[in-house]
Amino acid sequence: MQTRELGRTGQQVSALGLGCMSMASDYAYGPSDEREAIATLHRALELGVTFWDTADVYGFGANEELLSKALATHRQEVFLATKFGFVADGAGGAKVDVRPERIAAACDASLRRLGVDTIDLYYAHRIDPAVPVEEMVGAMAALVQAGKVRFLGLSEASAASLRRAAATHPVAALQSEYSIFTRDVEAEILPTCRELGIGVVPFSPLGRGLLTDPGPQLAEKDMRRALPRFGAEVGDANAPLVAGLRQLAAEKGISTAQLALAWLLAQDDSIVPIPGTKRRKYLEDNAAAIAVTLTPEERKWLAALLAAHPVVGARYGEGALKLVNN
């Protein structure tokens, strides 16, 4: 596995990371299987995929606890990222809470569940417009000073918030959704990250499965049932784009997932995608994308395909969209 520098930190991480959200929750992409999830984590280590991403809200702590079972004997091999910012809303869902006064307690709880002394990269999961960015990042910076966290990150932050945060404390990485299906960060946010030396960590780089399976059969509890892009009519509208990607992938003798990841990796050396999976076969397929090279002609062809078939459908419902790129 190749490595890339995380922003301008000097820290090398695997060029492809592993999104762990689905490993301990039936809410994310169907039923979970702890044995297979742990086997996937160990296989990731064998493949050199050592940048692992989780959050305290995934399974409301269960995901961090699952990762602890692999970290117990492999902590030094893993660059570990987790996030705070969502709390239970009392109705089975979650709400944003990034108030400075609760950040230290959230970090301590994650450390305890993960079974580690230090978190390598600690993200604010969302930006709350009601909480000054400077105050939130100031509280996060105190965790660095205390030795509990090495680097700070933001998730789904606007260019303006990135600038305010970076003026308070160095920001190592921005985690945002970015893929062939979701490109809104390209206009302003990516240039700001380049200017400030902030690494870019795309989540859902395979369009939450739409780039690999345009008509997935969703389990009853699968969160994607609530996402506009997974409606039948929207799927039909996006089918020509997916068909084009499959065509090029077949011509190259690779999977559509590998094509999508290769496209993303080629956008900028500061980009480190974290495709999520809880199964070894998908992990292995994703990891092989690191060896895929796109020719100038193929990149031009993809650009024409994207121009001809703009993506239809919002990535979140109206409520969740209010917390994007704040």
Are 56 and 20 a contacting pair, CB within 8 Å?
Answer: no
Catalytic residue among 58, 122, 123, 178: 58
The verdict on whether 27 is a catalytic residue reads no
Rounded Cα distance between 190 and 178, Å, is: 10
Which is it for strands 86-88 and 94-96: parallel, antiparallel or unpaired? antiparallel
Rounded Cα distance between 161 and 159, Å, is: 5
Give residue 274's Cα distance to chain centre: 5
Q: Mutual orientation of helices 280-287 and 256-265 as an angle, nearest 10°? A: 50
Residue at token pair 């570990």 = 80
Q: 269, exposed or middle or buried, with CB in 10 Å at 0-12, 13-18, 19+?
A: exposed
Rounded Cα distance between 89 and 155, Å, is: 20
Residues marked active site are found at 58
